[in-house]
A and B are shown apart, each in its own frame.
Chain A
Amino acid sequence: MTTPRTKREERMLTAVQAEVPGRYATRRGRRNLVRAGIACLALFYVSAVVCWALAPSDTAMYVTFACDGLGLLAGGFVLGRMVVVTRGTTRLPDHLLDERQAAEKLRAHSTAHRLTVLLLFVALFGIELGMRSDVRSPSAAVVVTFGALLVTVASLPLLVSTWRMPDPVPDEDDA
């Protein structure tokens, strides 16, 4: 663990050193945060399913904008909380992490990688089931599905890290 090299790294480090709200000091609180994150990700899949079923149509477009917009806003907020809760373990550059955080980052990424492989198979089977030979696949649905997968892959390490995190040590214990 070394000092920040750039202004950006300094800002990131300051952001993740912020006070963690008390409700995330318990495993239950952190896991509820992860559940909220999964709910936000689910919105992207709702829009993907709607696109596969209804696109091209106005309904599909409005549902996609509403779900993805809400998913981005709420998901951005929830993931931001997770970054602070995990002290930036999955987001900070390696040289700003100590050996425990670096090991935790590797563990989170390897678990996320396994989950991603599983997700790709689920997506493949879902698309195969949804495709009908008599109807041309809407390109919007492909793009929205790709977006949902991309957002999931990007956030999985953070979700895994938050889920696995042990209870933080209270500050007041300091001598």
Chain B
Amino acid sequence: MPTGRDRELVHNRIAVLRAERGVSRRELATALGVHYQTVGYLERGEYSPSLHLALQIAEYFQVPVEVVFSLRPFPLIGSTTS
């Protein structure tokens, strides 16, 4: 069972999706209506978004929300474990 800060930590793949789609932090922030530093804090895992913002991000990238956010760390690209 996760303890301490891990209990509230939400892992995300925003940076990967952003790089893959060639979207800048400022462009994403403008589309979401947040400050670009908020996108940076989200990517660094220093801020966990509200459900509304999480759904907005998933909608922006046109993927299900669980593709962007997870309570467990995402497997590394090329890793065989899921």
Contacts and interface: CB of A to CB of B under 8 A. Distances in A.
Interface size of B as a range: 20 to 34
A103 to B, nearest CB: 9
Contacts of A100: 34-35, 38, 41, 47
B4 interface: no
Interface string A5-26: 0000000000000000000000
B67 interface: no
B26 interface: yes
A32 B53 CA distance: 34
B37 interface: yes
B72 interface: no
A169 B39 CA distance: 9
B24 to A, nearest CB: 5
18 contacts: A87-B37, A98-B33, A98-B34, A99-B34, A99-B38, A100-B34, A100-B38, A100-B41, A101-B35, A101-B38, A169-B36, A169-B40, A169-B41, A173-B40, A174-B36, A175-B18, A175-B19, A175-B24
Interface of B: 18-19, 22-26, 33-41, 43-44, 46-47, 49-50, 52-53
Interface of A: 1-2, 87, 98-101, 166, 168-169, 173-175
4 closest Cβ contacts across the A-B interface? A169-B40, A98-B34, A100-B38, A174-B24
